[in-house]
A and B are shown apart, each in its own frame.
Chain A
């Protein structure tokens, strides 16, 4: 048994199995949701993304182990390579909507379809044994440049698509984070830190396949090669499990579009002054709900979220999320002073005060403490 080939094979099977397992979990989760719910669509999109990822790894395994079969399904391999990133971006697009009506551009699907069609036509025109010979390095004739491009198209497509869609994803999440602070006070779920990490992992895995191939061709099956190959295997596993977990656990907030009719029907209460607002906060304590959204409060105050958001911004100099978290911190301080809570656990009080978790409380506390320090120095 060729140990090197075997090691490579194992490094390719691991992420494939992981993607397949995660896709099963996503399908299972989708089945447990109601058809019309957004979480059903999200789960299904993620499930298909992971199926495409499984296909990508299977194709890569075939490149190394069965050139005969690979050249016959090369076009399909290119399609799943592109769809993997497109579907992933589709998921990111769905969970990072800013409430404005927007549609996912069909061009994202048209381009892969067009490239696949071209590849199918080219593949049918070029004899499979020629393609196989090029794949296995049995010929380096300059006359087969186009065929070489077809056979090894996976590399540039992988590079280009991962880079493009990771970039699009970063941009989308950054825009979402600017908007969500004025919509939701669920700090833990709205931050989408895990999605940033995921895309950073995608970006960092881009140079790996090419580096491994370069090391192989330069004849160096060194410790570096072993390390890079292992990394190339482990990074996707971490990506798949990270995104699957956070999708199933619902660690995100979807900004729902404000219904036009409701906005127009509800009178714009110009007299929603600070006093009435503070009375509402003091008596109803909406901040105790860890999943509080600005639309919930707008409904109760008989106004719209734009007006409410601008009121908070202008009166308190902060966004909705920060305002609500400050109220929670104040509530927590009050609870700590209450003798009835002398024996209460810290985490229980934190949750009672409206924080989603102890972690989100710590994050908010650290932010506020940092702001105090900055103010003192100013």
Chain B
């Protein structure tokens, strides 16, 4: 057997091997599932990998063991149409927190009907007719069985049709997800890079699938498009399984708008100008970019270099702008960070004691101290407010 042939076989089975490996990885992660949603998601992921493994192993069987393929042709059709449906289900489960919805049973009705028709028609047709079609790689049209031939060989068409429909549905779900998520307080502006990459790979698969359907079936193994599709599928697997295993279900990333980048660049130029005025915009842009609150040892002296101002001026600026001192301001950012960390799916089930350190507090004691300080301030505020109305009324009376 030549090396080229070996490579062709290996490429064609690449998605099968990667799907089986990813299936195992998901199985190993099953006992570590914390919630029922976790388990449901992993079940959908396992189903997706199993269906993909089915598609590629059966395609291979069709090319190399056509007679063995015949009783499995309905399974291939089922696997073809289930892959995009299951991927859509995974995306629906990812986005459920923001768009609570269930995937209706009717998503599975169409594939069930299709496979049912294929099964019945296949069983009703003489075996030698099916054998002739499969062995000739759809080259021979048995006399009198034109309609059966067309339906039997239409699997690539259904694969493409379901692929394009569910690609559209997936994009629609993601679009609604990002729109809804943007309306919340957390900084959500654009999809996470891995989601974009996943969609690109899906697109490549669809295009490659169309091209592959157009080439003679006897040439599938040698076709470059088969290799392209196989590699795109493996890429999808790697992306999906990584985010499942790491529990990084977040589909969005916080963004640094271009405006802030300009401000940060301008800030760099300001360092040449000693004592330039510090504004809220510049200050907050620095904090958003550098996230200094994550460093539990961060001191105000580090800001001196960043803003080219002495610490008294920086301290006075923070006091004037935010009404608190530097330490309290930093602790507020850390508390916000803690809340953000607690909202992330990968941190569900984690104790607060662990997250407070990630958020920038030295330990739980410092976090509690910061919380008590905020609570004490909030309690003091109503007392101050009650005093003001009397003074205001006098003032109004005085004005009249």
Contact = CB atoms under 8 A, between A and B. Distances in A.
A29 B246 contact: yes
B64 A1 contact: yes
A124 B21 CA distance: 39
B32 A237 contact: no
Interface in A338-357: 347, 351, 357
B59 to A, nearest CB: 15
Contact of A10 (B13, B24, B31, B238): B13
A10 B31 CA distance: 31
Nearest to A292: B353
Nearest to A299: B363
Contacts of B3: 65-66
Interface in A229-261: 237-238, 240-242, 244-246, 248-249, 251
A305 interface: no
A5 B1 contact: yes
Nearest to B246: A248
A249 B237 contact: no
Interface-central residue, A2, A17, A66, by most chain B CB under 10 Å: A17
Interface in A1-30: 1-2, 5-6, 9-10, 13-14, 17-18, 21-22, 24-25, 28-29
The main secondary structure of chain A at its interface with chain B is helix
B17 A6 contact: no
B245 interface: yes
Contacts of A22: 21
Given A65-B3, A359-B31, A237 B238 contact: no
Given A1-B64, A242-B28, A13 B10 contact: yes
The main secondary structure of chain B at its interface with chain A is helix
Contacts, number: 92
B141 interface: no
Interface string A280-299: 00000000111100000000
A241 B24 contact: yes
B241 interface: yes
A246 B1 contact: no
A21 B21 contact: yes
Given A245-B245, A249-B245, A240 B31 contact: no
A65 B24 CA distance: 29
A308 to B, nearest CB: 18
A237 B21 contact: yes
A21 B18 CA distance: 7
Contacts of A289: 351, 353-354
Contacts of B264: none
Interface in B4-23: 5-6, 9-10, 13-14, 17-18, 20-22
Contacts of B353: 288-289
A9 B237 CA distance: 23
A251 to B, nearest CB: 8
A10 B246 CA distance: 30
A10 B12 CA distance: 11
B349 interface: yes
Contacts of B61: none
A237 B241 CA distance: 16
A1 B354 CA distance: 59
A240 B351 contact: no
A291 B18 contact: no
B125 to A, nearest CB: 29
B9 A17 contact: no
Contacts of A25: 25, 238, 241-242, 245
B28 A357 contact: no
Contacts of A5: 1
Given A14-B17, A17-B14, A237-B24, 12 more contacts: A1-B5, A10-B13, A18-B17, A21-B237, A28-B238, A237-B21, A241-B25, A242-B28, A245-B28, A248-B246, A251-B32, A291-B354
Interface of B: 1, 3, 5-6, 9-10, 13-14, 17-18, 20-22, 24-25, 28-29, 31-32, 34, 64, 234, 237-238, 241-242, 245-246, 349, 351, 353-354
- Which 5 A-B residue pairs are closest in the complex by CB-CB distance? A17-B17, A241-B24, A245-B28, A18-B21, A289-B353
18 contacts: A6-B9, A9-B9, A10-B9, A13-B10, A18-B17, A18-B20, A21-B21, A22-B21, A25-B25, A25-B238, A241-B24, A241-B25, A246-B28, A249-B246, A288-B351, A288-B353, A351-B34, A351-B349
